[in-house]
Structure 1
Amino acid sequence: MRPLTIAACLALGAIAPIAMAQDTAPAAAPAAQPAADPAPAAGNAENGRMLTYTCQGCHGIDGYKNAYPNFHVPKIGGQSAQYLRNALTGYKDGTRNHPTMQAQAQSFSEQDIADIAAFLSNLK
């Protein structure tokens, strides 16, 4: 199990009692206008650096081609944060098709994706 997953489980266990207590509070009056889509989460580049340790295995090798079924593996360092965020989200939700990347992206939360994009977009 990934260290991030274990940490997330521990964090969720710690905040569950707080969330349950909030559920028993009286409901607030409904908002007059529908809420706008929330802005994308701000990325934490340091956390992104830790999350990308496996990415270097394919994306950090000049001219590397993945053996299944022989895809050119693009350099991702220095790409725009929005592009990286869209790509990872697409792999996660299945709108982009690549078995390895879909498997990788399934374990990422939206915050993880923002953190990864923040880190990789600042690489030269």
Structure 2
Amino acid sequence: MKRPAIVSVVAWGLLLALSGTAQAAGDPAAGKTKNAMCIGCHGIEGYRTSYPTVYQVPRLGGQHAEYLVKALEAYKTGARNHPSMKGIAATLSTKDMEDLAAYYANSGK
């Protein structure tokens, strides 16, 4: 591959990466008002769940917003399988997911 072609590929990659970031940009203040269903499990330090299997509930604060949106979308579509998360994600709009992701990405909680 010639140098101009490499530069072009890198430039397109950067544009795609930046456009993905823009899609996940929600309103952290709105997300804080929508997190009642999240804090029941994710708001308890060291919380472990036993349904359907025992595992450590992950901490959401400080995660990348894009990751959180993708995870919620995966629960909503069934690509990720957890009954509680699937039920919660099914009730969320894309805007809700983006707002929640923005809140948790900007929060240490």
Q: What is the TM-score normalised by the length of structure 2?
A: 0.74
C-alpha distance in 2 between matches for 1:99 and 1:120 = 22
Aligned to 1:40: 23
Runs of 4+ in 1 over 2 A off after TM superposition: none
Match of 2:67 among 83, 89, 98: 83
- Assess if the C-alpha contact under 8 Å between 1:94 and 1:102 holds in 2: yes
- Can you give the 5+ residue segments of structure 2 that lack an aligned partner in the other structure? 1-18
> Residue 89 of structure 1: CA displacement?
0.6
Larger deviation: 63-72 or 92-101? Answer: 63-72
Aligned to 2:50: 67
- Assess if the C-alpha contact under 8 Å between 1:41 and 1:110 holds in 2: no
- Percentage of pairs with the same residue: 44
Aligned to 2:33: 50
Q: What is the TM-score normalised by the length of structure 1?
A: 0.65
- Bigger RCO (CA 8 Å, 6+ sep): 2
Kindly provide the CA deviation profile for residues 39-58 of structure 1, in whole angstroms up to 9, marking residues without a partner as x: 62630111110111221111
C-alpha distance in 2 between matches for 1:66 and 1:41 = 28
Aligned length: 88
Matched, 1:118 2:93: no
Kindly provide the CA deviation profile for residues 86-112 of structure 1, in whole angstroms up to 9, marking residues without a partner as x: 100100111111111001100000111
Greater C-alpha radius of gyration: 1
